[in-house]
């Protein structure tokens, strides 16, 4: 899944040339920019936003204000962005995989992805990593599959509800013929905390957030 696509309120894209002309006259950006993160602090998008925000602030000479608005697998932050004034001063940094999945999984997510947003740029590509707690006596994927098959319903994997990591666990289990338990968390940071505390057995998560802990 590609992670981190800047998206602005869709009316800006509809306004098109008019909006672009207005920005040129105003020497955009003329004031701080609000960057909504629809996930909890400490997650991949949050980490990216703060890294990027610092550099963009230096380049544009305007502050990037990171605003975490969590809930409903990102829908709350996405809906908030969709309703913002279409002036280019409200952006959302989201996992494009989650944004697409939400439009399918939720009957009324609170926005129309193609209508209400305009993509600005892809910020990063972060493959998801399959990890296990060091308590499991496995060293390869095949060993994990064999271990899980021999213990149906005994292993668990923590993840935020309905996101790409959650569905990765479902897909992996279906393909491998595994029966393991999904444990819902508030997001990536909570999932990492569960793994570090020994409460989780297996986890699927973006490498930006998970690799430092593996190392």
CATH no. for residue 168? 3.40.190.10
Identify whether residues 72 and 43 lie together within a single domain: yes
Number of domains in the chain: 2
Q: What is the DSSP letter of 74?
A: G
**pLDDT tier at 210, thresholds 50, 70, 90:** confident
Q: What is the mean pLDDT of residues 189-209?
A: 89
Identify whether residues 67 and 15 lie together within a single domain: yes
User: What does the mean pLDDT of the chain come to?
Assistant: 83
- pLDDT greater than 80 at residue 197: yes
Closest CA to 90 of 99, 80, 98: 80
Q: What is the dihedral of CA 24, 30, 32, 36, to 10 degrees?
A: -20
Domain coverage including residue 196: 128-214
Identify whether residues 99 and 111 lie together within a single domain: yes
CATH no. for residue 27? 3.40.190.150
Structure tokens at 136: 């499991």
Identify whether residues 79 and 34 lie together within a single domain: yes
Identify whether residues 116 and 47 lie together within a single domain: yes
Boundary of a domain, candidates 76, 92, 125: 125
Tens of pLDDT, residue by residue over 145-190, are 999 999 999 999 999 888 888 889 999 999 999 999 999 998 888 8
Which whole-number Å values give the CA distances from 73 to 70, 97, 98, 163, 184, in the listed order?
A: 7, 11, 7, 6, 11
Identify whether residues 135 and 108 lie together within a single domain: no
- Say how far residue 151 (Cα) sits from the centre of its chain: 31
Identify whether residues 15 and 95 lie together within a single domain: yes
Identify whether residues 109 and 190 lie together within a single domain: no
- Longest CA–CA span in the chain (Å) reads 67
Tens of pLDDT, residue by residue over 26-83, are 688 999 999 999 888 877 788 888 888 899 899 999 999 999 998 888 889 999 999 9
Boundary of a domain, candidates 99, 125, 151: 125
pTM for the predicted model, two decimal places: 0.67
Identify whether residues 36 and 140 lie together within a single domain: no
Identify whether residues 112 and 185 lie together within a single domain: no
34 - beta bridge partners?
65, 90
Identify whether residues 164 and 185 lie together within a single domain: yes
Boundary of a domain, candidates 125, 160, 192: 125
Identify whether residues 118 and 16 lie together within a single domain: yes
What b/e string do you get for 20-32 counting C-beta neighbours within 10 Å, with b at 16 or more?
eeeeeeeebbeee
């Amino acid at each position: 899944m590609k992670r981190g696509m800047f998206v602005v309120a869709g009316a800006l894209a509809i306004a098109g040339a008019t909006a672009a002309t207005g920005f040129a006259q105003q020497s955009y950006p003329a004031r701080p920019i609000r960057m909504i993160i629809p996930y909890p602090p400490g997650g991949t998008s949050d980490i990216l936003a703060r890294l990027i925000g610092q550099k963009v602030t230096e380049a544009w000479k305007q502050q990037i204000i990171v605003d975490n608005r969590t809930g409903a697998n990102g829908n709350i932050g996405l809906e908030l962005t969709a309703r913002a004034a279409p002036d280019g001063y409200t952006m959302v940094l989201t996992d494009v995989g989650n944004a697409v999945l939400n439009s399918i999984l939720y009957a009324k997510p609170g926005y129309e992805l193609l209508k209400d947003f305009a993509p600005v740029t892809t910020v990063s590509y972060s493959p998801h990593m399959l990890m296990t707690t060091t308590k499991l006596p496995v060293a390869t994927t095949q060993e994990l599959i064999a271990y899980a098959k021999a213990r149906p319903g005994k292993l668990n994997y923590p993840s935020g509800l309905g996101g790409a990591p959650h569905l990765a666990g479902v897909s992996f289990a279906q393909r491998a013929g595994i029966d393991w338990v999904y444990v819902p968390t508030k997001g990536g940071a909570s999932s990492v905390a569960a793994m570090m505390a020994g409460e989780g057995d297996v986890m699927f998560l973006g490498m930006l957030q998970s690799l430092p802990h593996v190392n």
